[in-house]
Amino acid sequence: MTPMLIDHLNRQRLERAAQGLTRQRRIAESPCTPRQWVSRKGQPAREMLVFGSNDYLGLANHPALIEALAEGAHRFGAGSGASHLISGHSRAHAALEEDLAAWLAPSIPDAAALYFCTGFMANLALLTALGDTSATIFADKLNHASLIDGALLAKAPMQRYAHRNLNVLQRQLEGCTTPIKLIVTDAVFSMDGDLADLPALLALAERFDAWLIVDDAHGFGVLGEQGRGALAHFNLRSERLIYMGTLGKAAGLGGAFVAAHPDIIDALVQSARAYIYTTAAPPAVAHALRVSLRLIGSDDGNARRAHLRQLIHQLRMELAALAAAHPALGWRLPDSSTAIQPLTVGSNEAALALTASLNAQGLWIPAIRPPTVPLGTARLRITLSAAHSAQDVQRLVDGLTLAARELA
């Protein structure tokens, strides 16, 4: 007899398959670059042109970072050995936190910074530590899963407002009776690529004595002068800003950080369970991140961002023309000026048919389906990197053109 749990899981698996929602991993056989060797169960490895990573500056395989990781391992060892509050807080972590605090200093007066193993944990830590019973959390409906889960785990009630709808948010703030109010938003929405109206959100925060928590996973390193992120992009400066940046995307390595008023950072160290009860990341990663920060802020970083902006412009022009040439396919191009350029196709089946056609042409672009995105908005999530060339983008456009003819 099949055990109950296995039986239950098998039923869920069949339901998922019937809805075209089965997820499958591929194995990257080579480093993260636009041309990557990948394999699938039972199939030989092949080289594909990939538009799916969040390695926006092309640093994930940069020789200087590989070198810095090796150097960090030689200096600080392979593992940290313990959590930050026990014995795992290395000089490499401390030095990185100083660099990160300085990075955010133009936007947050007197900022302090705290390094985390992942952005998911940083968000859980932040929302559970600040979101106690005296607080209310206000969240954009399209916020990242880690912000939603952080808010669900927090004792504070959560009120969600329709995507970027500040009128709804304002009414919620007006009706709020808790002394502490936390507004939480992605800066760049991860599946749509559009920007939150951070200046207006900050104005609301100031007006209602609230705090604005900004998750800049996709803006850090990419937006603003020297890649300083979304706050710099909008020229914001306020003590009421709490910033979360991730370091596994544009920074090319891994981990994340929160930068904020020093008392907020201290509260996280004292009470955030997702910070306290986990082993510190290998110090070599922190060491290499310091080198990554210098690269991001350098002339080389500026050149990478300028090239990325050109690719974004090229792709948008071509995609708009393509969607207009095939109206029957119902492809839509949301309004995004960032490296995240989704092509919304509608049903799960349509998204899978499109990726299958591209796959046959050696192009790998992930299809994103519910529950990651709302029902009926399955999409190709095309992401660009400074490591792509204009020819790479043209090859993607040619591939989509051929797919459009096949599917029409």
Residue whose CB is less far from ligand PLP, 126 or 329: 126
By the rule CB under 6 A, 118 interacts with ligand PLP: yes
Strands 211-215 and 340-346: unpaired
Rule CB under 6 A: is residue 76 a binding residue for ligand PLP? no
383 forms part of the interface with ligand PLP (CB under 6 A): no
Q: Least distance (Å) from ligand PLP to the CB of residue 256?
A: 5
* Nearer Cβ to ligand PLP (144/381): 144
Cα separation, 219 vs 231, whole angstroms: 9
3-state secondary structure 364-375: ECCEECCCCCCC
Candidate segments 1-9, 119-127, 177-185, 308-316, binder of ligand PLP by CB under 6 A: 119-127
Q: Does 292 bind ligand PLP (CB under 6 A)?
A: no
Q: Are 232 and 225 in contact (CB under 8 A)?
A: yes
Q: Residue 242, interface with ligand PLP (CB under 6 A)?
A: no
Q: Does 55 bind ligand PLP (CB under 6 A)?
A: no
- Shortest Å, Cβ 189 to ligand PLP: 8
Binding mask 351-380 for ligand PLP (x = CB under 6 A): ------------------------------
Site for ligand PLP in 125-164 (CB under 6 A): 144, 146
336 binds ligand PLP (CB under 6 A): no
Burial of 174 (C-beta count, 10 Å sphere; 0-12/13-18/19+): exposed
* Comparison of 90 and 118: residue with beta carbon closer to ligand PLP: 118
Q: Does 194 bind ligand PLP (CB under 6 A)?
A: no
| Residues, the chain | 408
Listed ranges 34-42, 74-82, 114-122, 149-157: which one lies at the site for ligand PLP (CB under 6 A): 114-122
Burial class (CB in 10 A: 0-12, 13-18, 19+), 382: buried
Closer to ligand PLP by CB, 59 or 404: give it: 59
Token output for 28: 């990257």
Segment interacting with ligand PLP (CB under 6 A) among 117-125, 151-159, 166-174, 392-400? 117-125
The smaller minimum CB distance to ligand PLP, of residues 90 and 146, is found at 146
| Least spacing, CB of residue 11 vs ligand PLP, in Å | 30
Residue 190 · residue 144 · CB < 8 Å: yes
Q: Tell which residue, 339, 295, 315, 308, has the closest CA to residue 394.
A: 315
Binding region for ligand PLP (CB under 6 A) out of 70-78, 104-112, 214-222, 281-289: 214-222
Preceding amide of 34 cis, omega within 30: no
Angle at 364 between CA 361 and CA 365, to 5 degrees: 120
The span of 176-184, 211-219, 231-239, 260-268 binding ligand PLP (CB under 6 A) equals: 211-219
Q: What is the DSSP string of 71-89?
A: HHHHHH-S---SBIIIII-
Alpha carbon distance 140, 164 (integer Å): 7
Sign (positive/negative) of CA torsion 252, 96, 184, 216? negative
Q: How far is CA 117 from CA 58, 80, 112, 250, 272, in A?
A: 21, 12, 17, 16, 14
- Please tell me whether residue 256 binds ligand PLP under the rule CB under 6 A: yes
186: contact with ligand PLP by CB under 6 A: yes
Distance of closest approach, residue 218 Cβ to ligand PLP, in angstroms: 6
Q: Which is nearer to ligand PLP, 120 or 331 (CB)?
A: 120
Q: Contact region for ligand PLP (CB under 6 A) — 155-163, 210-218, 266-274, 289-297?
A: 210-218
Q: Does position 185 bind ligand PLP by CB under 6 A? A: no
CB of 283 vs ligand PLP, minimal distance in Å: 18
Residue 85's contacts (CB-CB under 8 Å, 6 or more residues apart) are: 269, 276
End-to-end CA distance of the chain: 48
Residue 135 tokens read as: 């607080």
Interacting residues toward ligand PLP by CB under 6 A: 118-120, 123, 144, 146, 186, 190, 215, 217-218, 246, 248, 256
